Amino acid sequence: MSGNISVIGAGSWGTALAHTFAVAGNSPLIWGRDAQVADSINNRMENPRYLQGLKIHPVVKATIDLEEAITRSKLIVCSIPTQQIRTVFGPFADHLKDKIIVNASKGIEIGTHFRVSQIFKSIAPTAQYAVLSGPSFAEETVKGLPTAVTIAAESAELCKMVQAVASSAVFRAYTSDDVVGVEMAGALKNVIAIASGMVWGLGLGHNSQAATITRGLAEIARLGQRQGAQPLTFLGLAGMGDLVLTCTGPLSRNRRLGEAIGKGGKLAQVSSELGGVAEGYFTAKAASQWAKELGVEMPILREVYGILYEGTSARDAVSSLMRRDLKEELG
């Protein structure tokens, strides 16, 4: 299958995905609220707000008409903040009945604790669903640097179809049947990236950052497996691959948020300077509540939540983590 694809969300990753699908031989239409961004994409092949200076494939077109975007294509790509999905897609539920939804958003809904697949299931229960996730900075993707991701769906046929539609000489997609694991890994790695950034901002060095990433992966897998995820998923592209990139790469908003806080920045000011949503901020709240209800131990997540929502200092949080009761690593 190739042809019309609509990407909902004209942020950096939505724009990069539209470009990626165009490179793979499709005709993407991208939706966003900003008329100036849409005009620039249509006339100058550039998203000046998020990917300034990078040329987008000329086949990509943009619109500010959400109904047009949703009704135009059989395959709909979701690339908006998780907390906005219900508001954006809900009014168009009737149009989604027979669509294929490929989700590229990473997060957990506050209040319901729903993964994105569960949000869409509640909005459009008959739509087919797949999730695309993995180590993929938007800027590098648009530049054509080699990128590999995971496509997960319950249907092997759907997985292979989306894999074929997305893949090109510079963008390689692997398939998985573990929707739960891929979604949990993608959402929770953002929280660990905030922690990794805080460690770096505090000047605690490579040892501490490596420990944060490794123990963070253990926490992600712990909550993910409690939801039925497959353990090996957390060692793959959507798990360790995306976690390492987001925790160490300078283009990561979540890492930059944490680093600025670690250096003493105020949350409100830091957030306004990021130029986009750091999903880990919202996921920290949703996942912290969820883990507490389930009785799942997630100490790094708990401390990040304390820093973001309760005024705990980053240095006190590190001290609290280091003074926890001693235990076996894999116990």
Residue with tokens 């490179």: 23
Q: Is 143 a catalytic residue?
A: no
- 89 — phi, psi (to 5°)? -90, -25
Question: Rounded distance, CA 266 to CA 260, Å?
Answer: 8
Strand partners, 76: 6, 101
SS3 category, 131:
strand
Residue 34, Ramachandran bin (φ over 0: left; ψ between -120 and 50: alpha; else beta): beta
Question: Rounded distance, CA 293 to CA 287, Å?
Answer: 10
The sign of the CA dihedral 236, 75, 252, 114 is negative
Active-site pick, 189, 263, 266, 327? 189
Whats the size of the chain, residue-wise? Answer: 331
Helices (H), the chain: 12-23, 35-44, 66-72, 85-89, 116-123, 138-142, 156-166, 179-201, 205-226, 242-248, 253-262, 267-273, 279-294, 299-309, 314-322
Q: Strand 75-78's sheet: what is its strand order?
A: 61-63, 27-31, 4-8, 75-78, 100-103, 128-133, 147-152, 171-176
Helix 205-226 vs helix 299-309: crossing angle, to nearest 10: 100
Question: Rounded distance, CA 272 to CA 295, Å?
Answer: 34
Q: Are strands 147-152 and 128-133 parallel, antiparallel or unpaired?
A: antiparallel
Active site residues: 189
